[in-house]
Structure 1
């Protein structure tokens, strides 16, 4: 079966006709570094890429918005995509006549792209449906629709960089102190299968009932680890992994006739 294509979202700073209100606090001006392009680093995750060319802010008193140049605003062009983070407009001076256009820093664009990744924790499924049974195998799996690569692209100055997050492992916390790690989303329980059969790739067997726990249920979490890579402008890189967490509550009961085979 073909591997699913990653979801993508294309967002970048674009030249605009924006003008700041006369009575408003002016956004910070960022001048392009001498040897590179504008470096924009939204503070969403802890920075894992050191800026190749740091950007120094220039105060309004130093001529913000004056001379040849334009205000740039952040826009997403993918249908149905809206960026959840507010990014203030920035003033970018035009290159001097005859000077080469500044080239954006691919590593900085890569971090922009990573910050745009929209990762959601897949839905938790368990079998038996409803109550789990002491000493009988519980099948664990995540909604396959949520176990796909996710990608986002950041672009500026004709340079585009794409970050891709790939789910590689899920760690289950079953609420009774038990933990299970799986390298796949898990296998759904087949209709008509033997209820005493174990999952081929991701399962657990409870040894105690939840009715003795506070609230009468066990909290179940599934923490998915995503490996994140990026590529663009002839360069590649790797970010520290990201995680998402899905949660549910499950009741575990003890039915001797089913768990021991007694009458």
Structure 2
């Protein structure tokens, strides 16, 4: 008999269609051939691409909205709320991978040619410190004003470096060098001397 061939149908001797329940194929139930398990490292790189790292929120003392003063220490820090691990999990057939981004260092480019690298978010200034004291862990002292710069301000750029630790599928690893960035204009003025007679 001349049987019309159908996609996905299995055929026996003389082209006779075989019952699907006796010879299951992929997606038809029964013991299908196992699919290849994805490489966890490949899945991890995909998770890293989907991670949303928080943008740094820049804080200074004197306040970043006011003028800094030449030869007076500037304190720098990031909003502590962003200095925390960020995690994401992705599951594909056969493997689940969790990636956690951990902030490591902050690189401040101060706009005057100086670069400051801080090991953490920095210490927020408070009234317990003297007004002319230097930050214990993240600060800079400008030696010249920002007069003549675009908008009369230095452009301060901040880059946070993150390491991403991942595990899943019986494997683990680290993907270093992820970045989140921000910038802010910072005016720097010459301190005016007060003459007392």
* Corresponding position of 1:98: 31
Cα deviation, 1:135-154, whole Å, max 9, x if unaligned, reads: 00000000111111111111
Are residues 226 and 67 of structure 1, via their aligned partners in 2, closer, same or farther at CA, if it must alter by over 3 Å?
Answer: farther
Secondary structure, in 3 states, of the residue corresponding to 2:113? coil
Where 2:151 maps in the other structure, the secondary structure is: helix
What SS does the corresponding residue of 1:112 show, helix, strand or coil? helix
Q: Distance between the aligned counterparts of 2:76 and 2:165, measured in 1?
A: 28
How many residue pairs end up in the alignment?
171
Contact 1:95–1:101 under 8 Å retained in 2: no
Q: Aligned-pair distance for 1:108?
A: 2.0
Which residue is 1:136 aligned to? Answer: 72
Instruction: Structure 1 unaligned segments of length 5 or more: list them.
Output: 1-65, 69-92
Q: Match of 1:165, SS?
A: strand
Tell me, yes or no, if structure 1 residue 256 matches structure 2 residue 189. no
Q: TM-score, normalising length from structure 2?
A: 0.79
Deviation per residue, 1:168-208 (Å, 9 max, x gap)? 00000111111100011001111253111000000000000
After superposition, the Cα gap between the structure-2 partners of 1:216 and 1:176, relative to the gap in structure 1 and judged at 3 Å, is same
Cα drift, residue 97 of structure 1: 4.4
Question: Distance in 2 between the 1:95 and 1:139 partners?
Answer: 66
Please identify the structure whose Cα radius of gyration is greater: 2
SS in structure 1 of the partner of residue 147 of structure 2: helix
Match among 99, 106, 110 for residue 44 of structure 2: 110
Shift of 1:231: 0.3
Q: CA RMSD in A?
A: 2.1
Structure 2: 5+ residue stretches without partners: 1-6, 10-25
- SS at structure 2 position matched to 1:119: coil
- TM-score, normalised via structure 1 length: 0.60
